[in-house]
Structure 1
């Protein structure tokens, strides 16, 4: 950040990408970033062809978020509302993504620089007990994951368990494992791309009361280009040099 309040390197990031990537020939772009660079300015629903015209996958609609410097692809599912989980019997939530197939969504995930999906469980007398294999969520490969959002994939843990600040006891793995009459919450983002998106959430031997929230899958796009043309290399280098000049110039002025 320069003394003038301008993070110039960050400011020109999008300019560099815009200058170096040539628009695709396909009528439907392969990503939200390509859609943005082709001239789209407003966030909204756009049709993508994630594997190109020659690929076997059909086109499908996603939500493209252009509100920030990074371009985000948002894949909604049919169970984003806060869902009540009552005691008695087993609970299984099938998370369906109506806008695209799992194969299409996996291509988006693979091509993105990062992805995340939010999980929240509100509880009263309803422990998660992840270490006891009572509560889990499933990946597209139907693998069960016994860790919660924010835990970084640590087995049997919620976010508070990894930070040793669960309530009322820091020895717990999750806040909900207190298993008392106080309403508590365990929440956080899943960020391991190899396990996303969530396709199922299950709880056996339900106790007490709870509310489950599974957020949409959110991925950050990355440019797919290699600046191998002379004009691309020259232009990219010139922009980077100019950005560095704007960033460090005030320090030289003060020195001299």
Structure 2
């Protein structure tokens, strides 16, 4: 049987593997999509090429078998021997070509007609949340356009969000200007003298309000790591002094942290719920004003107040008083039906 010869396609696959294996650094998201799409195309072409070669080999083998069968029948006729009727030779088993459905990277159209890619919304219609995009059949984590208050109402304009669709549900994600790394706070002694103003990506607070109303639930992670700096309240000889707070989407001044019910005056952190605060006389670890590193963290989950507009802190004027503040992205799930 004729041996298969190396082809330009196979060599190109090898070059691509070498290129992708030797590349250094983190490629841009668009480059990842392009390379994955190219890899998928090459895989499909390889399967088709192998299938064509197998089909050619099958045809040659079939012709040879038919010629041999004809010679056998002539010999049997000469000898007066009856032969059973010919049975059709089964076709070759070709490798299964991977499906290209809506979960392929980049959402490129599939090449298999019986596995169609889900259609986008009808012309003029935009999904309200990433949950709705997920229910349409899309499974690619990517940037999409949504219109949370409903297409055609035009109360607020549509805007771009990140959709997480590959983990069994659709999650709408909105980032901001401080989401990538903690913010160091030092040199701000007076209450609220440190001010962190949050600007959300591609959306104003009116659009974000529409998103939280359209979603079944929303959350935002918040954390502070402190040394010698209180978060909310410092105990004085007479009463206390409020050093920190955050401003909700609707402008409400809030004095509760992640992991507890949102409140404008509770001064509570998650450690107070399970009695794990380093000092039982305080509701937050940082409010103990310890000379060692402490942490208060958790998720804000009351969507009526999300996302966070601003964070105010103080009590970091001393040389050994400092804090690190982390505020995560806004993440919304489900559909409220509003």
Q: How many residues align?
A: 203
1:68 aligns with 2:167: yes
Matches within 5 A, 1:51-200: 51=149, 52-80=151-179, 81-89=181-189, 90-130=193-233, 132-153=241-262, 155-167=266-278, 169-200=279-310
Q: Which shifted more, 202-211 or 188-197?
A: 202-211
CA deviations 1:35-71 (Å, max 9, x no partner) are: 2233422011111122213323222100111122231
State the 1:27 CA deviation. 4.3
Distance 1:136 1:49 in 2: 31
Structure number, greater radius of gyration: 2
In 2, are the aligned partners of 1:75 and 1:97 still within 8 Å (CA)?
Answer: yes
Q: CA RMSD in A?
A: 2.1
Residue matched to 2:64: none
Name the CA distance, whole Å, in 2 between partners of 1:159 and 1:37: 34
Q: Secondary structure at the match of 1:105?
A: helix
- Which stretch has the larger CA shift, 59-68 or 35-44? 35-44
- Give the whole-Å Cα distance in 1 for the aligned partners of 2:140 and 2:244: 40
Distance of 2:336 and 2:141 partners within structure 1: 18
Query: How many angstroms apart in 1 are the aligned matches of 2:221 and 2:153?
Result: 34
Following the alignment from structure 1 to structure 2, what is the Cα–Cα distance between the partners of residues 95 and 117? 13
Q: CA deviation at 1:181?
A: 1.9
Match of residue 33, structure 1, among 124, 131, 150: 131
Q: Cα gap change, 1:148/1:132 in structure 2, threshold over 3 Å: closer, same or farther?
A: farther
- Post-superposition CA distance 1:166-212 (Å, at most 9, x none): 01x22221111221221111000111111111000001343411100
Task: Report the TM-score when normalising by structure 1.
Answer: 0.73
Structure 2 residue runs without a partner (length 5+): 1-118, 234-239
Between the aligned partners of 2:221 and 2:186, the Cα distance in structure 1 is 21
Quote the offset at 1:84 in angstroms. 0.1
Structure 1: unaligned runs, 5 residues or longer: 1-21, 226-256
**Structure 2 CA distance, aligned partners of 1:85 and 1:75?**
24
Q: Which runs of 4+ in 1 moved over 6 A?
A: none
Tell me, what secondary structure is at the counterpart of 2:209? Answer: helix
The structure whose residues are more often strand, as a share, is 1
| Kept after mapping to 1: 8 A contact 2:132/2:335 | no
